[in-house]
A = this chain, B = another copy of it.
Amino acid sequence: MNPATSPLLTDLYQLTMLQGYFDRGMEETAVFELFVRRLPRTRGFLLAAGLEQALDFLEHIRFSPEELDWLRATGRFNAHLIDRLASLRFTGEIHALPEGTPFFANEPILRVTAPLPEAQLVESRLMNILHFQTLIASKAARCVLAAPGKLLVDFGMRRAHGAEAGMFAARASYLAGFAGSSTVLADAMYGIPSFGTMAHSYIQAHGNEATAFEHFALSQRDNVVLLIDTYDTEAAAHTVVRIAPRLREQGITIKSVRLDSGDLLDHSRRVRAILDAGGLNATGIFCSGGLDESELQRLNGAGAPIDGFGIGTHMDTSSDAPYLDCAYKLQEYAGVARRKRSEGKATWPGRKQIYRSFSAAGQPAGDILTLESDPQGGKPLLKPYMKNGRRTAVAQPLDQIRRRTREQLASLPSPLARLDPAYEYPVTVSDALRELAASIDRGEHS
């Protein structure tokens, strides 16, 4: 069983509920919406991501004979449930925000319209996919905004939370504007450009730093990036200057040096001066080591002579906000709007749509959250992606999603684009939606 595709990657309660639904013939159309209740304190907006993987999951979900046998052997479920699971496919509709769309609290990023058991079963994994990619795309967008024009590379797979997190982080950060990732498999599977240099162990194994640099350059020839902080950064920069002529004779240029420790502002200035004095004006400086968007902003603001950054752990774990308060809630069943009223967790009922208004300059100016049946001015953000369990269009190439995301980030009003979210983007709940919620609370729909 493969966790990435197995329908058993779900919460047990989904299966116990399905047994209840099937036992009672509760298979009418349900509408669930996935949204974020509150944004993390350090986020002014979020960036929707993960839709492609969510659609893949829905299109291919099915129980294998092995999985059905296992369920049967547990003795927990009745034969009717197992029979129904054997033929279960996702046959519903999906509406969603296009990947790369900025969104705000309480705005649905995905709506599932399907027979109740199907819509229920897929909750856990749908959220698992969309939550994480949205989390990372939102964090990566902050890095992109903090370091305009710099080359940003995802370095985080080793400390991402498992294999899929490493892959999804490479995808979500690329989508948000990163140039690529150090993760080779993200290139092989998603076509994301891969970047890489050398580790300290390479230098250490050679004993002598100059020898390590020369061996690496001769073996690589193109794309020579030398890591210079293993022992003494400035001494290593002088070594680079010293070996450069010999390499040049063999047609090899040193593309850049990498710093991975110490005060990067200070070191980058000293190293830039050493390289320039040695005639290596074209050799760039690439930095890594515990970076996040605040450090990028600090270095950039101080005019550090750094051409690119590898961002690892802090991005791949979204370390300042490692989760989103997202929910997947039943908004309508059998044609009747539903509302959860738990303390602090009440939801807006019904099938919803978001309408976004734009300023004359094309910047988002405000959203209206309302019912699908209550059209408003502005651009509707939720689009249809799936009908009868099949995609309604072919998957968009990732580069195209990336370009659209870049346009959207570029059009953000400047207070939203700042790292410190002092500005709350206006999201208005329509009168129609308020009235529906109130009428449910008065018991008019039970």
Contacts and interface: CB of A to CB of B under 8 A. Distances in A.
Interface of A: 1-4, 6, 8-17, 19-21, 23-24, 26, 30, 32, 67, 70, 74, 116, 120, 123-125, 127-129, 131-132, 135, 155, 157-168, 182-185, 187-189, 194-202, 204-208, 215-216, 218-220, 229-233, 260-262, 313-314, 317-319, 322-324, 326, 329-330, 333, 336, 338-345, 445-446
A218 B215 CA distance: 72
A340 B446 CA distance: 68
Given A10-B184, A204-B340, A319-B323, A17 B199 contact: yes
A161 B132 contact: yes
Contacts of A200: 329-330, 340, 342
A8 B185 contact: yes
Contact of A157 (B9, B32, B155, B343): B9
Nearest 5 interchain pairs by C-beta: A12-B196, A162-B164, A161-B161, A13-B196, A201-B330
Given A165-B164, A230-B341, A219 B19 contact: yes
Given A163-B164, A188-B1, A231-B341, A11 B125 contact: no
B163 A125 contact: yes
A34 to B, nearest CB: 10
Nearest to A326: B159
Contact of A13 (B6, B128, B182): B182
A231 B446 CA distance: 13
26 contacts: A1-B188, A2-B4, A3-B4, A3-B164, A3-B167, A11-B182, A11-B196, A12-B194, A12-B196, A17-B201, A17-B202, A17-B216, A19-B219, A24-B219, A70-B188, A160-B161, A162-B162, A162-B165, A163-B164, A205-B333, A207-B338, A207-B446, A230-B341, A261-B342, A319-B322, A319-B323
A14 B219 CA distance: 13
Contacts of A127: 158-159
Contact of A9 (B4, B163, B317): B163
B204 A330 contact: yes
Contacts of A317: 161, 317, 322-323
Which of A8, A201, A260, A318 neighbours the largest number of chain B CB atoms within 10 Å of its CB?
A: A201
Contacts of A446: 207-208
Contacts of A23: 215, 218-219
Contact of A197 (B6, B13, B215): B13
Contacts of A204: 330, 333, 338-340
A183 B3 CA distance: 11
A346 to B, nearest CB: 10
A207 B24 CA distance: 14
A164 B1 CA distance: 12
A182 to B, nearest CB: 4
Given A12-B194, A262-B343, A317-B323, A128 B116 contact: no
B30 A323 contact: no
Nearest to A229: B342
